[in-house]
Amino acid sequence: MSQLATDREIDRSKMAVSDEVAIQINKMNKWYGAFHVLRDIDMTVQRGERIVIAGPSGSGKSTLIRCINRLEEHQKGDIIVDGIELTSDLKNIDKIRREVGMCFQHFNLFPHLSILENCTLAPMWVRKTPKKEAEEIAMHFLEKVKIPEQADKYPGQLSGGQQQRVAIARSLCMKPRIMLFDEPTSALDPEMIKEVLDTMVELAEEGMTMLCVTHEMGFAKQVANRVIFMDAGQIVEQNEPEEFFNNPKSERTKLFLSQILGH
Amino acid sequence: MSDTHAQTVAYVRDTMLPEQAPPSTAAGPIKWMRDNLFSSVLNTVLTLLSVYFLWLVLSLVLPWVWYGSWTATSLKECREVVADLGLAHGAACWSVIGERYLQLIYGFYPAELYWRANLAFVLMIVALAPVLYPNLPRKILWFSALYPFIAFWLLWGGTLWTPVVAVAGFVLGYFAFEALYRLAGSLVGVIAAILVPVIWWLLLAGPVANGLASVLPLTIETVESAKFGGFMLSIIIGVTGIALSLPLGILLALGRQSDLMIVKAICVGFIEFIRGVPLITLLFVASTLLNYFLPPGTTFDIILRVIIMVTLFASAYMAEVVRGGLAALPTGQYEAADALGLDYWKATRLITMPQALKISIPGIVSTFIGLFKDTTLVSIIGLLDPIGLTNTIRADSNWNGIVWELYGFIALMFFIFCFGMSRYSMYLERKLKTGH
Ligand SMILES: Nc1ncnc2c1ncn2[C@@H]1O[C@H](COP(=O)(O)OP(=O)(O)OP(=O)(O)O)[C@@H](O)[C@H]1O
Ligand SMILES: [Mg+2]
């Protein structure tokens, strides 16, 4: 039935990129104490774009996408998400977090709540959706990630791949306009990676704006329309996947690609 | 179904063998004993030693308890009765309990009003039930919320208007919050929700209650605090302290983790101060010193003062227990809540606090048990809790010199309450387990 994410025909009809700007980052800098993690990041993400961020460990990929929903605070430069500028104004932060979904490496489901409650919590408490409607939305997205039958279980009773799909469904229940993924498959066994990637490919096919930190280069080739390569807190190179993989420009990128693809 | 299987797949068995009992070495009491008591030479020796020790203790204690006298009217008479039994270690004089048990339970509460204390106790169980067992209808929680006021009126008596105006303070606070929250934001709302009721209670509640009482008295006989005593007093102090120290402890734990410097400093200072002084000194402050600080002429009920001190004391420990639970949560939980757009209070209430409390159940219950047992310290400042009453009873010339029976009985009663709490916490932990 479902095929490997990498060898599946993709329906690109809905994947058009609009010229509306979803995320605008200008000359953004961030420090951890005295350590300069992100240096002069400039980046524009159009609505409907699917961006894969790659780079060696410690290069600041996680930090970059965590700045977008203010899990980390940047110190210099601007980040504008969905037309709203990220400042220390709590109202703006709340507004942005409502529009931006995020999936973590370790899923971070709420272990004391059932799968269904995990999915209905934010819509009910943040968006004030009535319980019944929230449950309908939750079931809709659980069906979409193909685990509606687990709705009454608890996260501790699910496999890693299932948990990550629930985490994706939980974010989608807030009907976000942008999705951030931070290495969603790197804590998973190989056979579970595919089921999560499949879910993400489907999401991409529906035209979701996605920023994805991942080492799954198959996924990048298949759905991304831009790959951003980071090293030492800087964007070193960005290009369409075709060009990026076949024709890398900087030495640093070549070395990284040979390590990650070569063996 | 199984027919088709039998035809199509020859190797699928469709008739099951009848079940057999396992051999007696693999199950039942003999296997259990072999596994748990005699699994090795060392274990066998330890088992035999323990059995011998148990026998030693029980052979002394059980006859003493069992052959005790329930009829003698004084210690002297009892000693004679018991001596006639010819037991090597004598026997107990239980008649002191038979004679004084009402006092040990109610203190000097007027006998004709015992029904009010009993009713308050029964209603307490009704009020606690929905808190302890979430399966019960949620509507009863309204009764639980009103119970403290009902119990206050039943126990102390006086006009019904006193508890009514007290409740009115909370209602006013709620409306003040609702009104100002929309107009001026949550901080102003919270301040108003605290100020309005306090002003009401301090300035207006008294006159209003008196005014209403003069129109329509609704009065039952008043009982002064000095008449309260026995287990009734322990339960009043213990249960109130328990019910108040948990929420206060939670707030202190949150305050200690807060980013707001002043709030944090106050919470840390409070916790460290309270944990650094013995409870008994706080009780002395409550019984004597506090009066110097209050405006002259104000009377401030001694039981209320003690409850406040006991609550503050327990809440400092509670705060540390809850903080431990909060610290044990992975940061991912906080991040996931943030990323979903939950604000601080919602994230705390729905995500982090339920998990932190679940982790801290054993510590919380230990603090509760400690608090309940610490109520016996009020005897030192002259309140007549069961320990305080033992002095009165032992001063009676009939029972002068009695020790074991009295303290044994009190210990047993405390044990029953504390053991109940401990069992409940184990039940709760099992119930809240959601992993594998
Ligand atoms: N809270 C923190 N305090 C101090 N330094 C931090 C903190 N979080 C991350 N760092 C440092 O910032 C740098 C970038 O971290 P980041 O997690 O963004 O890297 P990454 O590219 O996501 O790496 P990986 O592929 O290993 O996840 C690292 O050198 C890390 O040690
Ligand atoms: Mg990372």
Q: State whether residue B399 is helix, strand or coil.
A: coil
How many Å apart are CA A142 and CA A109, to the nearest integer?
14
Q: Bigger pLDDT: B426 or A14?
A: B426
> From B358, which residue of chain A is nearest by alpha-carbon distance?
A112
The one-character DSSP state at B14 is -
Whether the per-residue pLDDT at B213 is higher than 70: the answer is yes
Show the ligand 1 pocket: residues with CB < 6 angstroms. Answer: A 32, 35, 37, 55, 57-63
| Among the ranges given (A6-10, A21-25, B426-430), the one the predictor scored with the smallest mean pLDDT | A6-10
Q: What is the pLDDT of residue B301?
A: 83
Using a CB–CB cut-off of 8 Å, the residues of A that contact B are: 69-71, 90, 94, 97-98, 100-102, 104, 106, 108-112, 121-122, 125-126, 154-157, 170-171, 174
B219-220 and B158-159 as β-strands: parallel, antiparallel, unpaired? antiparallel
* Confidence tier at B342 by pLDDT (50, 70, 90): very high
Model pLDDT for residues A89-136, shown as the tens digit of each residue: 888 898 999 999 999 999 999 999 999 999 999 999 999 999 999 999
B9, pLDDT greater than 90? no
Task: Using DSSP, state whether B69 is helix, strand or coil.
Answer: strand
Residues of chain B neighbouring A70 (CB-CB closer than 8 A): 338
Looking at beta carbons, which residues of chain B come within 8 Å of A126? 340-342, 346
The pLDDT score that the predictor gives to residue A260 is 81
Contact between B377 and B426 under an 8 Å Cβ cutoff? The reply is no
Tokens of B350: 């729905």
The alpha helices in B329-431, defined as continuous H runs, are 331-339, 344-346, 353-374, 386-395, 404-431
The residue type found at B272 is E
- Among residues B244, B235, B174, the alpha carbon closest in space to that of B416 is found at B235
Q: How far is CA A87 from CA A7, A43, A204, A248, B344, in A?
A: 42, 18, 29, 36, 17
pLDDT at B397: 85
CB A118 within 8 A of CB A170: yes
- Give the chain B residue nearest A90 (alpha carbons): B343
How does pLDDT run across B155-200, given as a tens digit for each residue? 998 888 888 888 888 888 888 888 887 777 777 778 888 888 888 8
Q: Which among A41, A22, A26, A23 has a CA at the least distance from the CA of A78? A: A26
Residue B6 reports pLDDT greater than 60: no
Helix or strand or coil: residue B258? Answer: coil
DSSP chain A: ----GGGS----TT-PPPSSEEEEEEEEEEEETTEEEEEEEEEEEETT-EEEEE--TTSSHHHHHHHHTTSS---EEEEEETTEE-SS-HHHHHHHHHHEEEE-TT----TTS-HHHHHHHHHHHTS---HHHHHHHHHHHHHHTT-GGGTTS-GGGS-HHHHHHHHHHHHHTT--SEEEEESTTTTS-HHHHHHHHHHHHHHHHTT-EEEEE-S-HHHHHHH-SEEEEEETTEEEEEE-HHHHHHS--SHHHHHHHIIIII-
Q: What is the mean pLDDT of residues B292-309?
A: 80
Q: Which of B292, B155, B320, B322 minimizes the C-alpha distance to B225? A: B155
Q: Please identify, by atom number, the ligand 1 atom nearest to the C-alpha of residue A32.
A: 4
Top pLDDT among A262 and B140 is at B140
Mean of pLDDT values over B241-261: 93
Separation CA B411–CA B415 (nearest Å): 6
**pLDDT single digits (tens) B80-90:** 888 888 777 78
What mean pLDDT comes out for the span A140-155?
91
Contact criterion met (CB < 8 Å) for B332 and A104: yes
Instruction: Give distance in angstroms: CA of A63 to centre of ligand 1.
Output: 6
* Residue A145 C-beta-side C-alpha neighbours within 13 Å: 29
* Position B14 confidence tier, pLDDT thresholds 50, 70, 90: low
By C-alpha distance, which of B248, B92, B237 is closest to B155? B237
> B226: which DSSP letter?
G
CA distances from B422 to A160, B408, B427 (A): 35, 20, 9
Report which secondary-structure segment, H or E, holds B279: helix B279-284
Complex ipTM tops 0.85: yes
Tokens 């000097």 locate to B108
What is the residue extent of each domain of chain B?
1-47, 160-220, 224-432
Q: What is the pLDDT of residue B297?
A: 66
Query: pLDDT tens digits for B53-81?
Result: 999 999 888 888 888 888 888 888 888 88
Kindly give the number of the ligand 1 atom that is closest to the alpha carbon of A215. 25
- At residue B139 the predicted structure's pLDDT band, cuts being 50, 70 and 90, is confident
Q: Which residues does B144 contact at the CB level (< 8 Å), separation at least 6?
A: B127, B128, B130, B131
pLDDT of res. A105: 92
- Chain centroid to Cα B77, Å, comes to 39
Identify residues of B whose CB sits under 8 angstroms from chain A CBs. Answer: 330, 332-333, 335-336, 338-343, 346, 350-351, 354-355, 358, 432, 434-436
CATH class of B224-432: mainly alpha
Structure confidence at residue A64 as a pLDDT band (50, 70, 90): very high
Q: For residue B229, how far is the Cα from the chain centroid?
A: 17
* Strand duo A50-54 + A226-231: pairing: parallel
Extract the tokens encoding A203.
């999401």
* CA-closest residue to ligand 1 atom 29: A58
* pLDDT in the model for residue B251: 94
- CB atoms A125 and B346 under 8 Å: yes
Give residue-wise pLDDT tens across range A126-142: 999 999 999 999 999 99
CA distances B98 to B68, B95, B229, B233, Å, are: 12, 5, 18, 20
| B332, B336, B354 ranked by CB distance to A112: nearest | B354
Which residues of chain B does A108 touch, with a Cβ-Cβ cutoff of 8 Å? Answer: 330, 332-333, 335-336
pLDDT grade, residue A168 (50/70/90)? Answer: very high
CB pair distance less than 8 Å for A112 and B342: no
Q: Rounded to an integer, what distance in angstroms lies between the CA atom of residue B140 and that of residue A147?
A: 37
Whole-number Å distance between alpha carbons of A137 and A152: 15
What letter represents residue B42's amino acid? L
Indicate the DSSP class of residue B419. Answer: H
Cross-chain residue pair A97–B335, CB shorter than 8 Å = no
CA-nearest residue for atom 9, ligand 1, is A63
Q: How many helices (H) and strands (E) does chain B have?
A: 20, 2
In order, the DSSP letters of B31-60 are HHHHHHTSSSHHHHHHHHHHHHHHHHHHHH
Tokens 């010819």 identify what position? B86
For residue B318, how many C-alpha atoms fall within 13 Å in the half-sphere facing its CB? 27
